[in-house]
Homo-oligomer: A and B are copies of this chain.
Amino acid sequence: MTTRAGVILSGGLDSTVCLAIADRDCDEVLAVTYDYGQRHKVEVGHAAAVAASYGAEHLVVPIDLRGWGGSALTDDTIAIPDDGGAGIPVTYVPARNLIFLAVAVGIAEARDLDAVYIGVNALDYSGYPDCRPEFVDAFAATAALALKRGVEGNPVDVRAPLIAMPKADIVRLAIELDAPLHLTYSCYRGGDRPCGACDSCRIRAAAFADASIADPAS
């Protein structure tokens, strides 16, 4: 049986490894990138390059989360900190993964995809609540109730293969799968070059350091 998957692709490290996994495990892959008013919109172009390197169809979905703000990533009046600090940081975007997954399973139903991949990780991460396994599990159950194919006993499989992996292992897996790390981009600040100081840059740098691998995109 042909397996078809959608992959939520930001153009960063984790989602690119997710695409590599889906490309390995599925017959057809559709990459979905959200153009959500993020300060680091430059990532959308990186996502396109990553998708192209796999010959995958790439759907860019505009959904502007700036209309209500509430995050340093979607509101220019909130500065991006160098250190997220304790608790849930200001770079948290309210309901982002909930919205991204909701749209992705809608696309999956409309385009007859069997699975949706999301590259969330709950180990070396920023403490966002919508990256935790209990959220992903609850979402999958909710989607099964929302969708026609769930009612028909054939729910969309929601996969988060990186959720329990140390970030250094994600880097190692990227190398193993020959993922195009040189095309990826992770910086929250969205400059031409990664700032190296924001939470996302620091977590990425630590992962490459732990894996003793040079980051080809730095």
- Nearest CB in chain B to that of A129: its residue: B151
Kindly provide the distance from the CB of A208 to the nearest chain B CB, expressed in whole angstroms.
29
Kindly provide the distance from the CB of A190 to the nearest chain B CB, expressed in whole angstroms.
20
The answer to whether B68 touches A95 (Cβ under 8 A) is no
B-chain residues with CB within 8 Å of residue A99 when the two chains form the complex: 99, 102-103, 106
The answer to whether B103 touches A95 (Cβ under 8 A) is yes
Q: Which of A139-147, A171-179, A195-203, A210-218 binds B?
A: A139-147
| Chain A interface residue count, Cβ-Cβ cutoff 8 angstroms | 45
The answer to whether B88 touches A151 (Cβ under 8 A) is yes
How many copies, total? 2
Write the A49-88 contact mask toward B (1 if CB under 8 angstroms, else 0).
0000000000101111101111100000000000000001
Quick one: which of A96-125 are within 8 Å of B by CB?
Answer: 96-99, 101-103, 105-107, 109-111
Quick one: which of A145-162 are within 8 Å of B by CB?
Answer: 145-148, 150-151
**Does A40 belong to the interface (CB within 8 Å)?**
no
**A111-B70, A148-B92 known; A106 and B62 CB under 8 Å?**
no
**Does A39 belong to the interface (CB within 8 Å)?**
no
Kindly provide the distance from the CB of A115 to the nearest chain B CB, expressed in whole angstroms.
15
B-chain residues with CB within 8 Å of residue A71 when the two chains form the complex: 110
- Nearest CB in chain B to that of A64: its residue: B62
**Of the residues B63, B98, B106, B148, contact of A143 by C-beta under 8 Å:** B98
B-chain residues with CB within 8 Å of residue A145 when the two chains form the complex: 129-130, 132, 134-135, 138
**Does A94 belong to the interface (CB within 8 Å)?**
yes
The answer to whether A111 touches B68 (Cβ under 8 A) is yes
| 8 A-B pairs in the complex with CB atoms less than 8 angstroms apart | A59-B67, A94-B105, A95-B103, A95-B105, A98-B105, A129-B148, A130-B147, A134-B145
A sample of 20 more A-B contacts (CB under 8 A), given A68-B106, A95-B109, A102-B102, is A59-B67, A61-B67, A62-B62, A63-B63, A70-B109, A70-B111, A71-B110, A88-B151, A92-B148, A93-B106, A94-B106, A94-B109, A95-B147, A98-B102, A99-B106, A101-B102, A138-B142, A138-B145, A139-B142, A139-B146
